[in-house]
Amino acid sequence: MPGFEIFGEEEKKEILEVLETGVLFRYEFPNERKGVYKVRTFEEKFAAYCGVRHGQAVTSGTAALKVAMAALGIGPGDEVITQGFTFVATWEAILDIGAIAVFAEVDETLNLDPAELEKKITAKTRLIIPVHMMGAAARIEEIKVIADRHGIPVLEDTAQAAGASLHGRRLGSFGVCGTFSFDPVKTMTTGEGGMIVTNDEKLMRDMSEYHDHGHDHAVNPGGRGGEGRSFIGFNYRMMELQGAIGLAQLAKLDGIVAAQQENKKAMKALVAKLPGVSFRTILDEQGDNASFLAFFLPDKEQAQTVKKALAENGAGAISFAENTWHYYPKWEHLLAGATLARSGWPFVEPGGKKRVVYDAQVLPKSAAIMDRLLVYPVPIKLSDERLGQIAAAVDKAVAALS
Ligand SMILES: *Cc1c(COP(=O)(O)O)cnc(C)c1O
C-alpha cells in the first residue's frame, strides 16, 4: 500500500479516454460520451470482483458509510456499534447521520471482539459496523451469527481491506453491505472515492437515489430534469475521472496483494527475531491483503523500547496506541464532545440534555492490546536496501531489549 506506488500507463490511458469525450459527469450526455461510462463500469467490475451484485460509487469511504446508513434508515434515536480501533470516519459518519456511536473492544485480530460486541447490544441497536482494519478480516462469521440472532444488520467497513477475503469470500460481502475507500493511502486509490457493495435490491435503489439528490434515474422523456424523487437526498456522486482511475487500479489489485504478501513475509521473518514477539491473529493468511505487518511485544515497556530502537535506526514502526486518528482514547475532540453546532448536536439535544458522554476508560481490553502493538505498513515495492535497513534496525532493537 498504497496503490499510487504503481500508477502508470494504465491509469493515464483510462483518464485520456474520459478527457477525449469531455464528459466528466457520470450521468447524461449520451451522444458526447460515445459509450464511455467509467463510474458505472467501475461499479459493475468492483461489485463482480467482490462477488456481489451491485456497487454504488460515491465520493469517499466516509460518504460510503453515510450513504449506506441513510439507505438503511439509521438516524436519531438509534445506536450503532463499532470498534474502538478504527479510523475516525467510521464514527464521524454514525454521528453525522444522527445516531449514537457505541464502542466495543477489539481482540488480537485487532478487530471487533464478538463476545464484547454482544455485551453492547441494547434495544436501540440498529446496526453493527465491524471494521476490517489493516487489510485483514474481523471475526465476521461469528459477528454475523450474533447480529442475525438479534435481527440487527451488519455493515462491514472494508475501507482498508480491498482485495482481502475470508475463507474464499471477499470481505465486504458478508454483511447487508460493505463500504470501501479509495483515498490516497488505501490499497487501491482514485485520489478520493468510495464504494458500497450489496446484494440487496432495495438498499441499492435507495443508495443510488439518496447519493444523487433523490433522482430516481428512471428513463423518461424529460431526461435528468424529468426524473422523479421519493425522498430527499444529497450529492455524493463520483466523477468519471475517478471511475477511470478505479478501473485501472482494480485491474492491478490482485497483483498489489500478491506483492504485499511476498513483502510482508520477508518483513515478518526479520521482526520474528525480536524476543517475545507475537503476531496479530490473522484468520485467513491467504485472504490477508497484507498491507500491514502488526506485531506485539510482551508488554508496553518492551514495545516502547523496540519502537525507539527502530525509529533511531531509520525503520520506525507505528504505535497506534499513540496515534491520534485511529484509537478511541486519543480522539480528544470526540471525548470532549467538540462540535461546531451551537446547539451542541450531536452530543447535546436541542433542549440542552446530553445525548452521550464518551469516557476514555471504557475499553481496557483494547488498551492492553494496543499498548503492546507495533505496526509496519507493507509497501508494494520493497527494495533490498529498505529490507536491509529494517533488518539492521531489528538487530538494534534485539540488543536494546537484552
Ligand atoms: C479511510 C477510512 C475510511 C474513510 O475513507 P475516506 O475515503 O478517507 O473518506 C473509513 N473507514 C476506515 C476504517 C478507513 O480507514
Q: Is 178 in the pocket of ligand 1 (CB under 6 A)?
A: no
Work out the average pLDDT over 85-101: 98
Run of H or E including 128: strand 125-129
The one-character DSSP state at 354 is: B
Share of the chain above pLDDT 90, in %: 96
Residues 196 and 269 in one domain: no
CATH code of residue 90: 3.40.640.10
pLDDT band at residue 262 using 50, 70 and 90 as cut-offs = very high
Is the same domain home to 212 and 305? no
- Domain containing residue 338: CATH number: 3.90.1150.10
Q: Confirm or reject: Cβ of 287 under 6 Å from ligand 1.
A: no
Q: Are residues 188 and 319 in the same domain?
A: no
Number of domains in the chain: 2
Average confidence score pLDDT of the chain: 97
Looking at residues 353-382, what average pLDDT do you find? 96
Which cell numbers in the block locate residue 327?
484509537
Which pLDDT does position 5 carry in this prediction?
85
For CA atoms 190, 192, 198, 201, give the dihedral sign: negative
Ligand 1, atom 6: closest residue by C-alpha: 61
Atom in ligand 1 nearest the alpha carbon of residue 63: 9
- Per the structure block, which three cell numbers stand in for 37? 461510462
Q: With 90 as the cut, is the pLDDT of residue 180 above it?
A: yes
Is 80 exceeded by the pLDDT of residue 15? yes
Q: Is 189 in the pocket of ligand 1 (CB under 6 A)?
A: no
Q: How far apart, in whole angstroms, are the C-alpha atoms of residue 189 and residue 291?
A: 13
What's residue 4's pLDDT? 86
Position 6 scores a pLDDT of 86
What number does the ligand 1 atom closest to the CA of 93 have?
Answer: 10
Sequential DSSP letters for 222-234: TGGGG---SS---
Q: So what's the pLDDT on residue 104?
A: 98
Do 223 and 275 fall within a single domain? no
Determine the Cα–Cα distance for residues 192 and 4; give it in Å rounded to an integer.
Answer: 12
pTM for this one?
Answer: 0.98
Residue with cell 472515492: 193
Lookup: cell for 313: 535506526
- Which pLDDT belongs to residue 324? 85
∠ CA(333), CA(293), CA(101), 5° rounding?
A: 30
Q: Does the beta carbon of 165 lie inside 6 Å of ligand 1? A: no
Query: Do 207 and 268 belong to one domain?
Result: no
Is the confidence at residue 1, as pLDDT, over 80? no
Is pLDDT of 392 > 90?
yes
Claim to verify: residue 224 and residue 350 sit in the same structural domain: no
Q: Domain limits at 70?
A: 3-252
